[in-house]
Amino acid sequence: MAELCLDCMNKYAMGNGKRLTEKDVTMSDDWCEGCCEWKLCVITIKKKNGWGRLKQKAEGHLRGFAIEKQ
């Protein structure tokens, strides 16, 4: 895996409109191969727990529905 800083990882490597944050990754000081600077680079992408995946699926299914106030 290429060593990329968070900005370059979001710019080059992430598809589907996804954006990683510092909470989503483990980082370490390294040479970023994307911008050629010494920065904190992404080492691993953390897996979301089951509750996080369930919440994402629910939000995706409910995105098209409007909640009416009575």
pLDDT value at 5 more than 80: yes
Where residue 46 falls among pLDDT bands split at 50, 70, 90?
confident
Where residue 32 falls among pLDDT bands split at 50, 70, 90?
very high
In which region does residue 18 sit, left (phi positive, over 0), alpha (psi from -120 to 50) or beta (all else)? beta
Alpha-carbon distance of 30 to 4, in angstroms, equals 8
Output the CA–CA distances (angstroms, integers) from residue 64 to 18, 55, 59, 67, 69, in the order listed. 19, 15, 9, 10, 16
Would you kindly state where each structural domain of the chain is located, as residue ranges?
6-62
